[in-house]
Structure 1
């Protein structure tokens, strides 16, 4: 199926839409995967993720799995890197009309990611 994801522009000022093809089964997981597959920084490595949505509160939780060997942590990301990662995920998930997600929370192995 076709889906729209949002990626940061080269200047980290706006999120620009991009059309991508994803598997029709689990499209929400697939769009998150598309965003995360983009090359990031060499010393920041994610090894997995999970997406869960509470239909009552319309809150999506994206649980990111940082590699144990990653030299950088979430807190060490520059503001542009944070915008590119978390902004892209939030905009993509809240913009899809079929999912009706109102907000997105981020966790690292179940613990809230705070900056």
Structure 2
């Protein structure tokens, strides 16, 4: 008789047998991942004052095709420029000279 009293009924299933508990754990894991990514982004951009309205910054980005983009922000205006290797032609004015130093740095000197 003691065996019958201590035995749990079959309808009382524990959470370990619940098939949706794994899905809930994946949802929790995805929330933690999203929060971690947001924290990392804010940590990276905190030094550049990306959220201030009067800030100025420049970001270079290379996509999977190898194309280079230059993203610049000045005050409230954001410009995206794509860098290409195509040759251009047309009229223009000379702005100055660029010199490459021995250590690899490039110096630009404006014409007056």
TM-score, normalising length: structure 1: 0.22
The structure whose Rg is larger is 2
Structure ranking higher on relative contact order (CA contacts 8 Å, 6+ apart): 1
Quick check: which one's strand share is greater? Answer: 1
TM-score, normalising length: structure 2: 0.22
